[in-house]
Amino acid sequence: MSIFNPFANAFKDFSFLDLYYSEKLGDQANINTDIIIVNIEHLDRFELQELLHNIQKNNPKVIGVDAIFKQQKDVFVDSLLATELNKENVINSYAFYNDVITRNHSSITNTTSLHGYSNLNFDKQNNVIRNYQGIKKLNDTTYKSFAAVVAQQYLGDKWNSKLDKKLQKEIPIKYYGDYNKYLTYSYTEIIEAKNIDAIKNAIVLLGYVGKPLGNIYDIEDKHFTPLNSRPIGKSAPDMFGIIIQANIIQMLINNEFIYLVPKFIIGLITVIITFFALVYFIAKSVTQAAKYMILKKVTQLLFTIVFIWISLYLMKKNIYFKAAPIIAVMLLSVEFIGLYKLLTNYLNKKYSWKSYFFQD
């Protein structure tokens, strides 16, 4: 059965959520002016501290740095960088690698500085970044994500403490767009500008956004998302990590979450629809045997179209309704009516089994 592996891999990471975003079926978001992206490219540590120093001159509310400095290098340069990274409004990042934490070197950031984990995906079976977990517990210790710490620092007293419980579970990410939906600056633009009004009281995120900016052939720190133009099959990663972080932060500060319809409701709907579909088609296979095959295929097609439309419509209302299991179970169940008929025929001949198909 390994011949089917390419097909299984192609569909494994697919959902109608991808279709919704890749086909741009939702309302197009305006450029976000609360979140500023600064492309750090491959700057050295001296350039990074210089960049942070110039950003601070423009009085941002929060600065998030999506980079890890795990080794000590030049003592003097590291001390300059440490001065900038340990300021009160700067959020640093760390990452989990197989439940082992990789942090900045102790000489660069101290234990009192604000940190958050930058991991975007804890599901090793899924390559597409659809969900987000804002709080992770490991060995009786609670860790908060980079995006959640940035958003909480930005909102201050407006941060809803009830979110902490919600963020312990994976939730769907509401995507607003790629880097072109955010004001984006380069190192040169920040250094050469005397004043950038857009930065004042804003969130400034430092991270890698390609070299040059948005380079589609640059896949460093790039991930698959539902916005990928090819939701099925081979394609290149489509979004840089810092841009995904920006989308999550925007979702948190706007308090715009996607409601995930519970599995038990999906299961209940599946059982009810499949039951009535079987009753209907079993009856039609007897009363309208000549038209049965055409009627079955047309009904299956219309059912699939309607449920896909319902799923996409609800996504516009920020409701994630997983229609795929309902469609799959109903279609497969109806296809087994023929096998059921053969089975009852065998039982009828051998044991005089009574059924809807064979009655006295």
Contacts (Cβ under 8 Å, ≥6 apart) of 33: 183, 198, 202
**Residue 339 pLDDT more than 90?**
no
Q: How does pLDDT run across 64-99, given as a tens digit for each residue?
A: 999 999 999 999 999 999 999 999 999 999 999 887
**Residue 309 pLDDT more than 80?**
yes
CB atoms within 10 A of CB 298: 11
Each as own residue / partner, the long-range contacts of residues 159-168 (CB below 8 Å, 24 or more positions apart, any chain) are 160/255, 163/134, 163/252, 164/135, 166/134, 166/257, 167/133, 167/134, 167/135, 168/133, 168/134, 168/135, 168/137
The mean pLDDT of the chain is 86
Residue 151: pLDDT band with limits 50, 70, 90: very high
User: What global pTM score does this model have?
Assistant: 0.84
Question: Can you tell me the distance from the alpha carbon of 158 to that of 140, in angstroms, rounded to the nearest whole number?
Answer: 28
The pLDDT of residue 122 is: 81
The pLDDT of residue 13 is: 52
Higher pLDDT, 190 or 3: 190
Q: Which tokens sit at 133?
A: 């977990």
Please give the radius of gyration of the chain, using alpha carbons only, rounded to the nearest integer.
27
The pLDDT of residue 337 is: 79
Beta bridge partners of 205: 37, 64
Q: How does pLDDT run across 5-34, given as a tens digit for each residue?
A: 554 554 455 566 666 666 666 666 688 889
Q: How does pLDDT run across 269-288, given as a tens digit for each residue?
A: 999 999 998 888 888 877 77
- Per cent of the chain over pLDDT 70 is 88
The pLDDT of residue 236 is: 81
The total number of residues shown for the chain amounts to 360
Mean pLDDT, range 32-59, rounded to an integer: 94
Q: How does pLDDT run across 180-197, given as a tens digit for each residue?
A: 899 999 999 999 988 899
Q: How does pLDDT run across 91-122, given as a tens digit for each residue?
A: 999 999 887 889 999 999 988 889 999 999 88
Beta bridge partners of 35: 203
**Residue 227 pLDDT more than 60?**
yes
